[in-house]
Each structure stands twice: as structure tokens, then as C-alpha cells.
Amino acid sequence: MSYGRETNSGWCLDDDSDMDKISQALSHYSYHCTRGNLLLCDIQGGSFNKGFAITDPVIMSHQEGRYGQTDLGRKGIITFFAYHDCNEYCMEHWHRPRQRVALLTRRIGTSMIFRPKAATARFY
């Protein structure tokens, strides 16, 4: 059984399964426990042997690209919360950004930022 059909741009499958709700709450909790500095999202995985495995997670920070090409920065975090609906696994006191506006376009697949490579030195 797979779960966590969500992306780092705020898209998620409207599924009421417990695992999908838990993955959304885990993302919200990651923002709360890091005091709004990081967001774990794009959680995917599956269950096996009475447990589950998380694969391909994305970490977003306030500094775009700090955690790789899938770190959409502050805009990504704010966009996630523009689409996040708290569920029974979220706690009312968990932090949320004040601004909750979609600053990025939602996409079904994982979104990435692309930066041109810096010029490399040539040695003769």
C-alpha cells in the first residue's frame, strides 16, 4: 500500500486515508518542531511488515536551494500551507506561517529549482 501522494509545491491527492493524513500532519509537525525554519514534505512511501518506509522526502528551508534542487525556499513553505488542511493528526497549537498564499504553481510531480552551473576553471 502506498501513501503520501503529495508534492513540494502543495499538490496532494484528496485522499482520506489515514496514511495520507499522517503524512500531511508529519509535514506540519516538522515545521512546528523546527520553529518554522524547515518543512519536511513530498513524503512518499509504503507499508511493509507492520511498519512503513518514507522515500524521497524533501526538506525546504528559508534559503532556497539549501537542501538541494527540491528546496523551494520560503515560497515553497508558504505555498504548502496555503493548501494544507489540518486534520485530526494535527494539533491546534502547531505553528503555521502568518502568510498563507499560494506563491508557486502546484504541480503533480516534484518541483525543482535550476541554477546555472558556475564557470569551472580550466587547467592546461
Per-10-residue mean pLDDT for the chain, 124 residues long? 60 70 91 96 78 84 90 92 92 92 74 59 46
Domain membership flag for residue 116: no
Domain membership flag for residue 29: yes
Domain membership flag for residue 21: yes
Domain membership flag for residue 52: yes
pLDDT at site 60: 94
Q: How many domains does the chain have?
A: 1
Domain membership flag for residue 45: yes
Domain membership flag for residue 34: yes
pLDDT at site 29: 97
Q: How many CA atoms lie within 13 A of 88 on its CB side?
A: 4
Print the domain residue range for 17: 2-83
Reported pTM:
0.78
* CATH code of residue 64: 3.20.200.10
Rounded Cα distance, 9 and 74, in Å: 11
